[in-house]
Structure 1
């Protein structure tokens, strides 16, 4: 296995740099391709892996995993060779998949391989020097994402510290990378186990600062992760009044951010997640009813530019979700909701005598129609208002939206 180790050493770890840089020189790329080709050739010459060769296999796994993704040190050719290396390792270890190669199973002793891989990675990814070893870092990411329940739990003590270390970094790249790992861990570890030793709360406290003033792409990753994490932290009991919890805390912050945000890209991200948090909170979203309705109506009515049409559509979807889940409180707010829906139909239709033809506007009118229908279900008394509007008004768009309530 000495020649195999030499081949592994020929694939140098790239110089630490900007993870989103455009690429490396052609000579360096050729060097990586040559090293990977040499490694693949040696693996192809092997018939099987002996019990004493786990260290060499672990190095090969790290090398292949670190090069099979799209990174600044990889090329199309090197990624293909790296994937071939992983496939060859699966064959040599009699594994049926990457997960079996890592975690073991009926046909492979993968758990021993993964333990060696993690030991080698942990030596490099220290708090002071982890950025100097991007191949090891991405090999760890690759290992985590290829493990599913129940194979993630035994390695939490290695996975969580590395994830939290990247999450604490100042670059958006590492934050998004860490948030993706945190989501994967939460989805593939039992809720009870995540609550042991306050692990779930530690993850939440690490994510919480990113709720304030993050870039839109970071905010998107933050809320995706929190929607997986919050149900683990909050146990809902629908038969008794719920006390404010972390879901409620995050939701209040979200709607305040949506209300105050001036950046259109960030506003669109916040608006997209409002309906998902309403579904998560259920009837308990009524705790935020006054502010929530104010914010949603503002987003629906203040969409003057094409760039804000997505925000308006997400707000309409959130309004429909709110009416569905908080229907006992809707009668108290039916007048403001009805006025808002009539105004938005008037704004969307440039002509009062014919319907718009573009698909985007028709899609938004469909969302408005759904809101009219749900409002009628929650408040049967608005049916008289609908009939009055249809008889007294000749606006084609409004009549089109209201007809769905009587079909």
Structure 2
């Protein structure tokens, strides 16, 4: 049935009936031109309606608004990957901007009606439509292949007005509720996203994963733990994809869950172990960004995996997941020649040594080889890998000091060689970076001297007499001063 240009509801016909007819006209099966025409007519109908009277006298308005919002949100959705060629991105963005204008008009009417009737009369009518309007806003508010500046602006304005009408100060409050006992819209939003987040269909709509991820990151503890069954499976599904971009997105979702769900809830039903195995498998992929995301997540997951154990002295302490991960990292680090991966591994190594503490001695032999090997290799102007390795060496000496004296000669040679290389470096390395490397080497020599009862300063006495380079002499004197053991040759 074709409708004439609306001039308000016809006698004897409720506006809710007209809205449902427009919903049928805007169904996905119709052509794009017909849908655009329907959107224009719907915008005019919303603008001419007497909303205060309708909200009080038409009981079908909430359901009708929910159906209209669902239909409009579906029309504005990016083209599916399987038929992406049938709807060019510019045309889709233009339609999204027009649909955003319709939502803006509707929300403006709701806001005006709320001023005259009060929130109690307006919010029940808007409640079924609010999750759909939110998903539209999140889908189009950021720069994506399916958006344009106009559609982004419209979506951002819709979201801001939605929050204002709902009396919410932020997106987080809109989703979780004002207090822990107050229900928000997170459950409803996840209910709408759930059908598109299964193994068969989650890639059809390219915006679904971004809407899920962005929404998930808005909700923190203590609210997030109430929704664990809804958010964990989609996060694992996205992280298990073959595309690196999706893996990283999924790992970021898992990391947010780890940070905002109590450890007791993660241990329940063996969830922490499931997370650990899913993350551990990613460590075999040579993708620096993915490795970085996985290691950061694992470091925050370890406390939930490794409960404090009662250790009996005669028995060896059991190894844990942190040991397994560090062993694999060191295995990968030793032969690695790609600079980005070397920097990624070195960046995270200090955190593992800090977490294991004295138990790092289990890995000391391989750790020694990695430290010496990485100190020898120039890492570019920023020298990130060598700076992190120096930090790792300092922590290793501090935590494993009983086992260090037998390795004194190895570490001392490596550090002195590093000092000489830095002093003689004629590359483009900035002076602040060289200064940071020298200071790191001095710190390592100082703690090495402390744990060896002054052997370092004794061994450095002879080079101090024969060395002619002022910068190297200055480093040796600083080590003596920091150690509190100044020799006659060094004064």
Query: Does residue 1:399 correspond to 2:473, yes or no?
Result: yes
Query: Does residue 1:8 correspond to 2:73, yes or no?
Result: yes
Residue 172 to residue 389, structure 1, CA distance change in 2 (3 Å): same
Query: Does residue 1:145 correspond to 2:220, yes or no?
Result: no
> Would the aligned equivalents of 1:268 and 1:308 in 2 still touch at CA under 8 Å?
no
Residue 298 to residue 58, structure 1, CA distance change in 2 (3 Å): same
Query: Does residue 1:244 correspond to 2:308, yes or no?
Result: no
> Would the aligned equivalents of 1:62 and 1:117 in 2 still touch at CA under 8 Å?
yes
Runs of 4+ displaced beyond 4 Å: 2-6, 106-110, 236-241
Partners of 1:26 and 1:198 in 2: CA distance: 46
Equivalent residue for 1:28?
Answer: 92
Equivalent residue for 1:361?
Answer: 434
1:142 CA displacement: 1.4
> Would the aligned equivalents of 1:66 and 1:139 in 2 still touch at CA under 8 Å?
yes
> Would the aligned equivalents of 1:345 and 1:368 in 2 still touch at CA under 8 Å?
yes
1:238 CA displacement: 9.0
1:306 CA displacement: 2.6
Equivalent residue for 2:250?
Answer: 178
Residue 391 to residue 75, structure 1, CA distance change in 2 (3 Å): farther
Partners of 1:327 and 1:75 in 2: CA distance: 59
Partners of 1:176 and 1:255 in 2: CA distance: 22
Partners of 1:107 and 1:4 in 2: CA distance: 28
83-92 or 177-186: bigger deviation: 83-92
Partners of 1:58 and 1:394 in 2: CA distance: 74
| Cα offsets for 1:11-41 (capped at 9, x unmatched) | 1333338x9xxxx643333222222233223
Partners of 1:275 and 1:158 in 2: CA distance: 35
Higher relative contact order (CA 8 A, sep 6+): 1
1:45-64 maps to which residues of 2 (within 5 A)? 45-47=109-111, 48=114, 49-64=122-137
| Cα offsets for 1:119-174 (capped at 9, x unmatched) | 11112222101101233322211111000101111111010100111111100011
Equivalent residue for 2:277?
Answer: 205
Residue 253 to residue 25, structure 1, CA distance change in 2 (3 Å): same
Partners of 1:33 and 1:82 in 2: CA distance: 8
Query: Does residue 1:167 correspond to 2:242, yes or no?
Result: no
Query: Does residue 1:44 correspond to 2:117, yes or no?
Result: no
TM-score by length of 2: 0.75
Gaps of 5+ in 1: none
> Would the aligned equivalents of 1:211 and 1:222 in 2 still touch at CA under 8 Å?
yes
1:54 CA displacement: 2.4
1:344 corresponds, among 418, 438, 456, to 418
Gaps of 5+ in 2: 1-64, 115-121, 483-491
Query: Does residue 1:377 correspond to 2:441, yes or no?
Result: no
Q: Secondary structure at the match of 1:134?
A: coil
Number of residue pairs the alignment of both structures matches:
398
100-109 or 116-125: bigger deviation: 100-109
1:223-262 maps to which residues of 2 (within 5 A)? 223-236=295-308, 242-262=317-337
Residue 290 to residue 231, structure 1, CA distance change in 2 (3 Å): same
Q: Secondary structure at the match of 2:448?
A: helix
Partners of 1:160 and 1:228 in 2: CA distance: 16
Query: Does residue 1:326 correspond to 2:391, yes or no?
Result: no
1:257 CA displacement: 0.4
Equivalent residue for 1:67?
Answer: 140
1:6 CA displacement: 4.9
Partners of 2:251 and 2:358 in 1: CA distance: 28
Residue 108 to residue 28, structure 1, CA distance change in 2 (3 Å): farther
Partners of 1:136 and 1:351 in 2: CA distance: 51
Q: Secondary structure at the match of 2:207?
A: helix
Partners of 1:325 and 1:83 in 2: CA distance: 51
Q: Secondary structure at the match of 1:132?
A: coil
> Would the aligned equivalents of 2:97 and 2:150 in 1 still touch at CA under 8 Å?
yes
Partners of 1:106 and 1:208 in 2: CA distance: 36
Partners of 1:102 and 1:369 in 2: CA distance: 52
Equivalent residue for 2:373?
Answer: 298
Equivalent residue for 1:288?
Answer: 363
Query: Does residue 1:216 correspond to 2:288, yes or no?
Result: yes
| Cα offsets for 1:333-391 (capped at 9, x unmatched) | 11111110011111112279xxx972222221121111112212222322222333323
Query: Does residue 1:193 correspond to 2:258, yes or no?
Result: no
232-241 or 393-402: bigger deviation: 232-241
* Structure of greater Rg: 2
1:4 CA displacement: 4.4
